[in-house]
Amino acid sequence: MAQAPDINSYAKIRITAALERVCRRTWPYESEGFLATNGGFCALNETFSVLLSRGSVVAVETPTATATLDILERLGVKIIPVVCDADGPCLHSLRAALTHEPAAFVFQPRVNGITGQSVHPDRLRAIAETFSVKPLWIIEWDALDALSLVPPCSLGKWHPYYTVHIRSYSKSMSPDLRLAVVSASSEVIGKIQEFRAFGAGWTSRILQEATAYLLADKTAQECIQNARSVYLNRRRCLSEVLNGYNLLVDRKGSGFSLWIGVDDEKKAIDFLKENRVLVSSGSKHSLTKSSYIRISYSNLEKDYELIGNLIVKSARCA
């Protein structure tokens, strides 16, 4: 890494050659430009800041990450929800959102970090056809990378000019890595780079070279694959308990969390807190009126029956 070109220079290099080269091998479409940033949410903030103006309309899949909504609200845009089902963003909801003439559509095609569900290939193709009528900015976020069960996917396959695709490596490799890669047209990449001049300027080339090394290293990738299997098993174990009590959840997804409908969100959260089980409020992630809780199982190694029973009881609190 110490021998990387310009490692001691103040030159604002967008992405090192080694990192771009290894990223292109698994990128879901051919893109004009690439840029390394300081993590996924940093990339979202920078992308939103250069493509969206105060007062503009943005269509966003729901549920979604709280930080995504917080960034958009800080920028002063109007958010239109696009509801999702097991196959991804619903076409009828997307078409309804398009009547508001949004400047952009924001979603996670590979894995929704809140529900763990992925967009079905047929649904992705149908969404691409919907955008063929009137193109708009498509801002995609792949937060899990290799921890996902499904391969990389993107609307950039059909709309490369209008697509901004963000892949974060913080969850799959290390939170302290703080690195994500953005692909977009050369024009958009240039605008993001100009915006970064008022902040970080560029992303550490030491971290970029470390990421490139890990992405190409067989042992490191086997470690990530093993971690994916561990998380999938934890999801399966908890899901089987919940399904056994007729609280139906999707155990086929991936990621770190389950999205569970409850009779009363506040009562469910309070009940679980009293029993030393902490969950996230669904309303923090949702743009529609609903009653859900988000269960993170990333650190859950045992007591599936006990915790699952408590979750079932909380779901039926009214």
Interval 81-128: pLDDT, tens: 999 999 999 999 999 999 999 999 999 999 999 999 999 999 999 999
* Beta strand residue intervals within 19-102, DSSP E: 33-37, 57-62, 78-85, 88-89
* Beta strand residue intervals within 133-256, DSSP E: 137-142, 163-168, 180-184
The phi, psi pair for 132, rounded to 5°, reads -70, -25
| Model pLDDT, residue 59 | 98
Instruction: State the residue for tokens 């990128």.
Output: 27
What's CA 104's distance to the chain center, in Å?
16
Q: Identify whether the C-beta of residue 150 lies closer than 8 Å to the C-beta of residue 120.
A: no
- Answer yes or no: is pLDDT of 314 > 90: yes
Between 61 and 132, residue with greater pLDDT: 61
3-class SS of residue 81: strand
Instruction: State the residue for tokens 């590979």.
Output: 110
3-state DSSP percent of the chain in helix, strand and coil, to 5? 40, 15, 40
Question: How is residue 11 written in tokens?
Answer: 């030159």
Percentage, residues of the chain above pLDDT 90:
85
Q: Identify whether the C-beta of residue 162 lies closer than 8 Å to the C-beta of residue 184.
A: no
Q: pLDDT of 171-211, one tens digit each? A: 999 888 899 999 999 999 999 999 998 888 899 999 999 99
Q: How many CB atoms lie within 10 A of CB 22?
A: 18
**If you average pLDDT over every residue of the chain, what do you get?**
93
pLDDT band at 3 (very low <50, low <70, confident <90, very high): low
Instruction: Kindly state the greatest CA–CA separation across the chain.
Output: 62
- Answer yes or no: is pLDDT of 2 > 60: no
Beta bridge partners of residue 10, listed in sequence order: none
pLDDT band at 52 (very low <50, low <70, confident <90, very high): very high
pLDDT band at 277 (very low <50, low <70, confident <90, very high): very high
Percentage, residues of the chain above pLDDT 70:
98
Query: Alpha-carbon dihedral of residues 76, 94, 68, 295, nearest 10 degrees?
Result: 140
Q: pLDDT of 292-304, one tens digit each? A: 999 999 999 999 9
3-class SS of residue 34: strand
When pLDDT is averaged across residues 37-48 and rounded to a whole number, the result is: 96
As a residue count, the chain comes to 318
- Answer yes or no: is pLDDT of 4 > 90: no
Q: Identify whether the C-beta of residue 297 lies closer than 8 Å to the C-beta of residue 260.
A: no
When pLDDT is averaged across residues 273-291 and rounded to a whole number, the result is: 92
- Answer yes or no: is pLDDT of 1 > 60: no
| Model pLDDT, residue 133 | 83
The Cα–Cα gap between 102 and 83 comes to 15
Residue 86: closest CA among 278, 251, 317: 251
Containing H/E element for 43? helix 40-51
Q: List the single range of 131-135, 236-240, 264-268 with lowest mean pLDDT.
A: 131-135
Q: Which residues contact 168 (CB under 8 A, 6 or more apart)?
A: 39, 40, 43, 141, 142, 143, 144, 145, 179, 180
Q: Identify whether the C-beta of residue 268 lies closer than 8 Å to the C-beta of residue 295.
A: no
